[in-house]
Amino acid sequence: MTRDDAQKAAAVLAERALELPELAGARTVAAYVSVGSEPGTRALLDALHARGTRVLLPVLLADNDLDWAAYEGEGSLARVQHPGKIELLEPSGARLGPDAVVSADAVLLPGLAVDERGMRLGRGGGSYDRVLARLAGAGADPALVVLLYDTEVVATVPREAHDKPVHAVVTPSGVRRFH
């Protein structure tokens, strides 16, 4: 995908995601800053922030767990090179703790793929498995949404006992919901 195509896809994804009732009515959304070839999230983050939604972004901890901080616009992001890991853009504001995610009305999850059952394939670091376990442990039930390209919605992905299906996947061609 060319850079121009990726930017166009990110704009369409943001538009489609913003139309979701789960995001339209959300006071707090836990999201992420896309990296590498992931569908772009910056347009969506900026649009949520501009409409007054509290956006929480992850801060990667040494043990691969996630802390959270509020997104205050593009200038609030800092490049962080994690030893032996990928470089990430992370919020530079006050850390809110790993449990801050339980206040989210919706959680945008990164993924490599989602299958026809709504099962998400992550990168294998376990960061978001911990987030999902933390949500379940707190009795929180936010909308779980993944942003992907159309080709990343596949027939099946590997599933482990702790895996939980997402509620929806947003792609440039539309939204698919799972029960």
Q: What percent of the chain has pLDDT over 90?
A: 83
CATH number, residue 53: 3.40.50.10420
Domain total in the chain: 1
Q: Using the predicted structure, report yes or no on whether residue 179 has a pLDDT greater than 80.
A: no
Percentages of the chain per state (helix, strand, coil), in multiples of 5 = 30, 25, 45
Burial of 71 (0-12, 13-18, 19+ CB in 10 A): buried
Q: What tens digit of pLDDT does each residue of 33-91 get?
A: 998 889 999 999 999 999 999 999 999 999 999 999 999 998 999 999 888 778 899 99
Q: The domain containing residue 53 runs over which residues?
A: 3-177
CA dist 4 and 10 (Å) reads: 10
Q: Give the model's pLDDT for residue 74.
A: 82
Q: State CA 90 to chain mean position distance.
A: 13
Say whether pLDDT at 163 is over 90: no
Query: Which uninterrupted H or E stretch holds 90?
Result: strand 87-91
Beta-carbon-side half-sphere exposure of residue 148 (alpha carbons within 13 Å): 24
